[in-house]
Amino acid sequence: MRITVFGAGYVGLVTAACLAELGNEVLCLERDPARIALLERGQLPIHEPGLAELVTANVGAGRLRFSSDADGGMAELQFIAVGTPPDEDGAADVEHVLQAARTIARRMAGFQVIVTKSTVPIGTAERVRAAVQQELDARGSGLSFAVVSNPEFLKEGAAVHDFMQPDRIVLGVEAGTAGRRAAALLTALYEPLNRHHPRTVWMDTRSAELTKYAANAMLATRISFINEMANLADLIGADIEAVRCGIGADQRIGYSFLYAGCGYGGSCFPKDLQALGRLASEAGQPLRLLRAVEAINNDQKLMLGQRILARFGDDLHGHVFAVWGLAFKPDTDDVRHASALVLIGQLLRANACVAVYDPVAHATARRALEQDRSLGPEALARLRYASDPMNALQGADALAIVTEWKQFRSPDWRQVKALLRQPVVFDGRNLFEPRLMAEAGIEHHSIGRPPRA
């Protein structure tokens, strides 16, 4: 099939590359010519395992092209995967989505299916329909089209896998002939992903739009729930990992996405929870649970810093701390809303020196920290980007681990102890067994796991 994808951002790029890999002819539209040049050379603006190879292979095979010119985009299937950044109230701004819809309408020459992949507020499919209809009316055109909501559920760091082996494909279609025609096209498009195991869930467009927000809200709720239990476990001397295993055995609860830690970050959960909260309030039903989820997470991100201050004193002048991990999670260089940035800010503001290491996120973190108005040049001068994890430890009073990169999981503890001034580890992702840490002679602070003698 011939497909146009609007946007070569995270979702657009993954969608375009994966649909090309499935044998379709894909044109990915991107406004930024520098980004297009980069992509044509097989270089990605983001770090995502497996994606560069997929882009290179499909560009090479002629199935994937990048352009800034929508004229070439006459395909029957038009995917909109442009950004929906939060406005000042936290609501998702759909202006780019509507612009793409108008561009499609201006060039429409036959029946087209317009598929929204971006995460959008409830009712956006209807706004897309209205925007397209308005353009067609202005042209005096009676062409027919369908709008489909097809939210994306991929995780950063596992995006290609999640697209190719999705748990589900949610398709929200409109009633009527155009909707049925769209459903037939999308059934054919996604057939390779449904072959051994039917994964498509059909619904109306509003339900599809809400499904996306509800999924992220549920996941964030699980994290804040387990974090709150972990904080209680700390106070009463219980082990949150044992509790996770104990409750996860109940199939209704399950084990996954119940890892206590120093809070969730990323672009999706914080942004989507805000947007959902906003639209629920507008609909007359403020979401009290989600407000609590967000508040718990904000507090959780402060926890490592508070523990360090409690252990070393309020003024950390003369102290050095090593921080492993800057990205909001492993396998990405994304530092948006990352817990590490919160911790680094706390330490620098308390006059500490900080040495950080992340396998891929130094550049993105540097940019984000330089934009943090609470940190002046004097504070940033106390921040050092280390060349490797062990280098960050040299002369540090303690190590804080904020991102669970695989390479941090089994360090040589003898070397760690030799490099640190004091063998103190703040384990923000519960990577290490308290018992083994005690045996190694390390003062281990975890989230909801009591120290073991």
Residue 163 binds ligand UGA (CB under 6 A): no
CB atoms within 10 A of CB 104: 24
Residue 264 binds ligand UGA (CB under 6 A): yes
Q: Is 35 annotated as a binding residue?
A: yes
Residue 6 binds ligand UGA (CB under 6 A): no
Q: Which parts of 207-226 interact with ligand UGA (CB under 6 A)? A: 216, 219, 223
CB–CB of 28/5 below 8 Å? yes
Give the nearer residue to ligand UGA in terms of CB position, either 16 or 316.
16
- Minimum Å gap between C-beta 256 and ligand UGA is 7
Q: Is 88 annotated as a binding residue?
A: no
Residue 365 binds ligand UGA (CB under 6 A): no
- Minimum Å gap between C-beta 341 and ligand UGA is 12
Residue 29, phi then psi, degrees to nearest 5: -95, 130
Task: Examine the residue annotation and report whether 28 is marked as an active-site residue of this protein.
Answer: no
Contact with ligand UGA (CB under 6 A) among 108, 258, 296, 335: 258
Q: How many residues bind ligand UGA (CB under 6 A)?
A: 21
Q: Is 154 annotated as a binding residue?
A: yes
Binding segment toward ligand UGA, per CB under 6 A, in 81-89, 101-109, 257-265, 359-367? 257-265
Between the CA atoms of 247, 251, 256 and 257, what dihedral angle is there, to the nearest 10 degrees?
Answer: -70
Contact with ligand UGA (CB under 6 A) among 18, 154, 182, 383: 154
Residue 58 binds ligand UGA (CB under 6 A): no
Give the nearer residue to ligand UGA in terms of CB position, either 145 or 259.
259
Residue 353 binds ligand UGA (CB under 6 A): no
Residue 293 binds ligand UGA (CB under 6 A): no
Binding segment toward ligand UGA, per CB under 6 A, in 92-100, 107-115, 251-259, 288-296? 251-259
List residues forming the annotated binding site for substrate: 153-156, 212, 257-261, 265, 329
* Residues of the binding site for NAD(+): 35, 84, 119, 156, 271, 336
Which residues are at the interface with ligand UGA (CB under 6 A)? 119, 152-156, 216, 219, 223, 257-259, 261, 264-266, 268-269, 272, 328-329
* Residues tagged active-site: 268
